Chains A and B, each alone.
Chain A
Amino acid sequence: MRYLPHTEDDINSMLDAVGAEHMDDLFSMIPAGCKMEGSLDLPEAMTEWELNTFMDGLSVKMATSPSYKIFVGAGSYNHYIPESISYLLGRSEFSTAYTPYQPEISQGTLQAIYEYQTLVTRLLGMEVANASMYDGASALAEALLMAIRITKRRRVAISRLIHPYFRDAIRTYLTPGNYEIVELPYLENGRTDITGVADMENLAAVAIQSPNFLGCMEDLSSVEKPVHETGALFVLSFTEPLAYGLFKNPGCQGADIACGEAQSFGIPQSFGGPCLGMFSCRMKHVRNMPGRLVGKTTDVDGRPGFVLTLATREQHIRREKATSNICTNNSLCALASAMYMASVGGTGIRELASLNRDKAEYLKRGLRDAGLKIPFASPTFNEFVVEFGKGFKDTYAALFKKRIVAGIPLAGWYPELSGHYLLCVTETTGREDMDALIEEVQS
């Protein structure tokens, strides 16, 4: 799709047609106090050479892989991205500013989204997936709104081990509607304590994250029954979908909605965005699912084709009565993750997941042997918590100078976990780097 700007003549003839003298007249309804006077407060323009020097100067100040050894995940993960993905993603058919949805001209894009949806349902073991959402946090907040619509109830219970940023997003979404949010505590083994839900009335949803923010795999199969007994929907969130290459998927463990962040699948970390919200649910709830959905159909001549489905429930048609305020998707990122899943393949995802788990176990064991405490006993995937102790701050700073980032301190989000750090290991982490970290922290 080409963008063709108007000429000065075009603009003048359009202004004539609507009876306006200047472009500014079209914005006269905006109060004067809300308009910015003058020009933007920006420095003088640089030459290309100057700009490159300036940007190089900024980038050396950042602690980025591979010059730093970074043992941090916490919602954003460093994985190898096959070279084929950046090549395919850069094709002009895909990298437009807007996703063309018209079936007459966009069969390729629509099929790509359809393939993405299919791969998501296979990975998560769910029946239907949408065309993607902005990120894992907004996907989870939309999942709770969806449960509220379906059950016509007003209270949700969310695990305290859901990513703190995700819980912030939930509060942003739900508070204006006066929905009640209850946080579920966690147990000594690093899993969510769901015993309290049995006594909670009027529950629309119970949301659990697995692997959770402490890196522990939740025991989803034992969560399902008590949740469904309350009449609530079981919402499963995740920040690391690669875990489902190894662990049982949410679908076979009774989740009604499974959604989360899928940056792990072929999308660079790049300062935390753009991200990818994966969203899937049971087919019986499809009419309450937010976002766009591509379906497969046949045209008048019986040829297969792809088309937006259930669009009549969306905002551009149903206005304020739409299922959700989301009327778009994150197509390019969804495409990257579809390419990633297809490139790595079913066996590859399993192998890669094993590699992540095995490497993380190697570091975990090494740290434990070095005398450090691993406080939570539940199985983990590629992240786990270490108790370095309260005096670790100085060591942490010293390691940082040696270009090692020894995890992320948890006390800011969990005051009771001071001296506890969340560490992450992926397939990109070398054995020497792990050995170096172990040696540094025991000395």
Chain B
Amino acid sequence: MTRDALGAEPRQLAFEPRHRHAIGLVLVAGIAVVLGATVWGIPRETAKLPAVAREAMTEALPDWHTLEPVNEVVYGTRGFDTFGETFLLLAAVVGIGLVARSKEPRRGFIGEERAGHEEQEKSDPAGAEGGEEDEARTAESEELDYRAEPETPDTQPLGLPAPERARGMSVVVRGSVRVIAPILAIAGFYLVSWGYSPGGGFPGGAVVLGVILMAYVSVGYKRIARIIRPGLIEPIEMAGALLIIAIEALGLVFKGSFSANFLPLSQPGTIPSGGIMQVFSGGEFIEVATGLTLAVFGLLGMSRDWVPDDDDDGESKGDAAHPAEDSTAHHSRLSARSQ
């Protein structure tokens, strides 16, 4: 038993059951020994560069007019690999979207069930009275206290008990993000545009995700919902995927080989140097920025898909003492409902 920081309620530390300790330890030790033994056969830091790396180094400047061999490998010689990886990322994003979406069509990521609730009250005020569903909804909204959410915590007195209800963060955070976000956004675009120096679509896209998340945590979802919504981001992501498919397939049309460069190569050290590499990198930038945004907001917007139980409170107290019994009771209730 332990007492949490506020000293309010004694709380049992979560017992963490484990699984076949000894067998796991033996298996892992065996694998570690085998892997450790192979380390002695692996090339060290004094070994010569492998042929494929030397080829990439020698090809980068004459064949692609780029000063960045890593980008040349990613979007040039091993472009087909990156092409496949792009669609693996897309498949994962579609998978997250599929698992995370609710049954109703949604326009935004977060708080849609609230919007729907208000709409339903307006259109069918009689239907909202009585019934088990209504009770559950009332209980839920009381529990979560949505209406009491202020825009910012600035007007609230200090020292209120957690959790904070405001949608955004304090004026200090909002002010800092206002300064940092544009700088970071420009850094992201710089990483992609100046493709002859280290950077490219992957890090650039990740930086843009960082800007979006900073805006989200500082002002709350409601203020960015006009831009960060599935209806806008999903088409942009598909456009990025189409751009990548087109730029790779056009090599087949013009040069007879998939992922071949068909664009004129300009001077090394200029933004358009590198031919299709730069376009591919731009497509990847769109793909990574929108894909990661969809994945993160899909996860953030996952709301619960059951009606809250009226005895949920009782469970949270009893759960620590008799976890097994309680969960059995729960499962029977859940299955009874689903039948």
Q: Do A and B bind each other?
A: no
B interface, CB within 8 angstroms of A: none
